[in-house]
Structure 1
Amino acid sequence: MATNVSTQKTRFSLQNLNWQQIWKWTLMGLAVIFLMWLGARIDENPRGFLQATVSGVLVGGIYSLVAVGIVMINKASGIFNFAHGAMMLVSAFIFFSFYTTQNYSMVAVILLAGVTSLLFVAMNNWRDILIPRNALIALLMTGVLVVLMTLPRDDLRLIRALVGGTTGAVLIGLMIERFSIRPLMGQPIFTMILMTLALDSLFKGVSQMLWGSIDQKLTIFSGLQATLNIPATIRIDTSAIIESRISTINIQTDTVLAFILSVAAYVAFALFFQYTNIGLAMRATSENQRLAQSVGLRVRAILAAAWAIAALLALTAGVLYGAGNGIGKNMPDLAIRAFPAVLLGGLESIGGAMIGGIVIGLAQTWADSLFGSDAGTQLAPYVILMIVLIVRPDGLFGQKRIERI
């Protein structure tokens, strides 16, 4: 009898164990041990650690921009977009094509401008094209875009590339929403996520067919490439300045410029969501599409605009990354490494995406510096992803969803 009672108590205690709390405390203990070991390694090579920190923040700016694009789609439609990396690749290649050559087909340029204009004026419904005002707007847009994308002078190639890349990115976003996502509205979210995986493979195949598999160097920052040697000193007191072992920090000016542009793009889109009517409408649509439609919001047009803006973010990230690392088949891997940044910050938080991107960038460069290999690129982001999913699945700034049964 006593044996049965003790067995029941043992089962009861095992059932009531909070395994999530055990995991949290275990990870916290491992984190303390890791920080102690990290402190010892930093003391051995302070310059390398500081260099890795600066590089990590700069690289994190690109990750943040990628993460914001993924959060953008999730906020508007509730879909985790696995095709974002491929969107970066194709839109960056379009930018590259307009930047590096003037020998392009006028038929292709007219089709690019015309189809984009038609999809733009018909974001809500195909019948909107039949409205004379919309048809005139589409015609004028097509003419202006064709003129800007065919500027003949070489010193205007940046303008030509910006217009061509923007047009191509918007076309990609609008076509994805119109022909891939909109027909699946009302279906389970998992179906739409699988569609983004299919689009990822499709875009990668198209990019190899049109531009090949050889990486292309984008030289938009070629005139700005230089290395800044920043001297580092530590002031101990007012009577002496002691030179540290850090000596100098090397920073590439093109990387700094890419980081500044990433932050500027993030600030612009954050203000867009907070203070513009379209941004507020997107936020309302993400909360409840049926309620948004009942109050007169054009949900279809809002979702189309969200995909177009996400494509512009993909273009920006792809161009900034390609300027320093080249445009090639490995570019979509950047988006995969940004997934932990999205989950770390929270699927609904744009600010969290920015912070998460910088954290992932720091983890990557620190791991590379500490282990002397590409462990940071290949391992660190995914280790952080596993930890986040265990400790805080909703992210640092994510909202916990309560489902009523």
Structure 2
Amino acid sequence: MSGNLLTQLLLNGLIVGTLYGVVAMCFVLIYKSTQVVNFAQGEFLLIGAWTCWWLVVEAGLPFWFSFPLTFVFMMVFGIALQMVVLRPLIGEPIISVIMVTIGMSLFFQSITKWIFGADVQPFPEIFPVKAVDVFGLQVQPAYLMSLVVSVLVMIGFAWFFKYSRMGLAMRATAFNQQVAQSLGISVKNVFAMAWAISAMVSALAGVVVGMVNGVSGALSFFGIKVFPAVIVGGLDSIIGAIVGGLIIGLLENFAEYVDGQWLHLGNLYTVAPFYVLIIILMIKPYGLFGTHKIERV
């Protein structure tokens, strides 16, 4: 029984870890293109989840239409946010932009509570079954859907950055903005696309978590939970984001097993990733795949 529980938790950790990896890639995408850490990333999940919930529950649209429509809305939202709020800050100190993302986080939390309330709102039943048997283990269909979509997103990211014109422009901008501009690349358009993609992909995680746990303001905490994955993998590495997400997903579920079986602390599931975050910052501050930068002053 204990072995089955551990296997079930590790499978859950693997599936949730892919979601962590997808959201971590959004952190990395914005950081590589703009050198800004977006502390409003969790609110992108929250807004995406509330948007899909409203389309399904209030507008009465079928989920399979509401889900892609949420992506379209979040793409427009990300572009508008970058153009209206962040574009005027180009050239300002990085700390000013980071403080604006913190302000956006608080603003979006407040506005969503004002519009939708503070209570948890469940999604209606989307799938005909409660759980699917996978090698003798019970997995919720929403998690299986998220696993498939997350893998497709990761493959899409790999293709996008390697072959598409905008992906190559983003890589050039991340390397050096002035050089990218000299090559005719619109840095402003790159910034807008980075925020649009980040908002869209974050919405995927928000909808999945909302389908499992319900939608509420607590969903924004998911962005904070992903931050250890970003640091473990490396703040400027897409591959590191994926690996870091899987590590944190497996780690927190293994910590839950250890806590439940032996330690009985009650909160190890929540705090274990942040212990790893501190250790990584002490021994390998650039993460497992991050770029080492040497600055002379």
TM-score, length-scaled by structure 1: 0.69
For 1:60, the aligned partner's letter is: G
CA distance in 1, matches of 2:157, 2:201: 9
Match for residue 395 of structure 1? 287
CA contact 1:340–1:385 (8 Å) conserved in 2:
yes
Of 85, 100, 125 in structure 2, the residue corresponding to residue 180 of structure 1 is 85
CA contact 2:41–2:202 (8 Å) conserved in 1:
yes
Match for residue 241 of structure 1? none
CA distance in 2, matches of 1:77, 1:181: 10
Match for residue 96 of structure 2? 191
Of 207, 223, 234 in structure 1, the residue corresponding to residue 128 of structure 2 is 223
For 2:37, the aligned partner's letter is: F
Of 285, 293, 298 in structure 1, the residue corresponding to residue 181 of structure 2 is 293
TM-score, length-scaled by structure 2: 0.92
Q: In the alignment, is residue 71 of structure 1 matched against residue 28 of structure 2? A: yes
Instruction: Please state how far the C-alpha of 1:358 moved relative to its aligned partner.
Output: 1.0
Q: 1:226 to 1:45 in 2, by over 3 A?
A: closer
**Higher relative contact order, structure no. (Cα contacts within 8 Å, ≥ 6 residues apart):** 2
CA distance in 1, matches of 2:235, 2:125: 32
CA distance in 2, matches of 1:163, 1:256: 17
CA distance in 2, matches of 1:48, 1:162: 32
Of 20, 42, 58 in structure 1, the residue corresponding to residue 15 of structure 2 is 58
Match for residue 258 of structure 1? 146
Instruction: Please state how far the C-alpha of 1:258 moved relative to its aligned partner.
Output: 1.6
CA distance in 2, matches of 1:321, 1:370: 24
Instruction: Please state how far the C-alpha of 1:274 moved relative to its aligned partner.
Output: 1.4
- Once the two structures are overlaid, the 10-residue window that deviates more, 366-375 or 220-229, is 220-229
Match for residue 381 of structure 1? 273
Question: RMSD across aligned C-alpha pairs, in angstroms?
Answer: 1.8
CA distance in 2, matches of 1:344, 1:318: 22
CA contact 1:52–1:369 (8 Å) conserved in 2:
yes
For structure 2, which runs of at least 5 residues remain unmatched after alignment?
none
CA contact 1:89–1:331 (8 Å) conserved in 2:
yes
Match for residue 95 of structure 1? 52
CA distance in 2, matches of 1:71, 1:96: 27
Match for residue 49 of structure 1? 6
Larger Rg: 1
Match for residue 334 of structure 1? 222
CA contact 2:72–2:200 (8 Å) conserved in 1:
no
For structure 1, which runs of at least 5 residues remain unmatched after alignment?
1-43, 103-153, 232-248
Instruction: Please state how far the C-alpha of 1:220 moved relative to its aligned partner.
Output: 6.2
CA distance in 1, matches of 2:125, 2:288: 36
CA contact 2:161–2:171 (8 Å) conserved in 1:
yes
Q: Output aligned runs, 1:128-277, within 5 Å.
A: 157-158=62-63, 160-219=65-124, 221-228=126-133, 230-231=135-136, 249-277=137-165
For 1:375, the aligned partner's letter is: N
Secondary structure of the equivalent of 1:216?
coil
Instruction: Please state how far the C-alpha of 1:208 moved relative to its aligned partner.
Output: 0.6
Q: Output aligned runs, 1:340-379, within 5 Å.
A: 340-372=228-260, 374-379=266-271
Instruction: Please state how far the C-alpha of 1:400 moved relative to its aligned partner.
Output: 0.6
Secondary structure of the equivalent of 2:135?
strand
Identity %: 33
Instruction: Please state how far the C-alpha of 1:250 moved relative to its aligned partner.
Output: 3.1
CA distance in 2, matches of 1:49, 1:292: 49
Instruction: Please state how far the C-alpha of 1:329 moved relative to its aligned partner.
Output: 1.0
Q: Output aligned runs, 1:20-59, within 5 Å.
A: 45-59=2-16
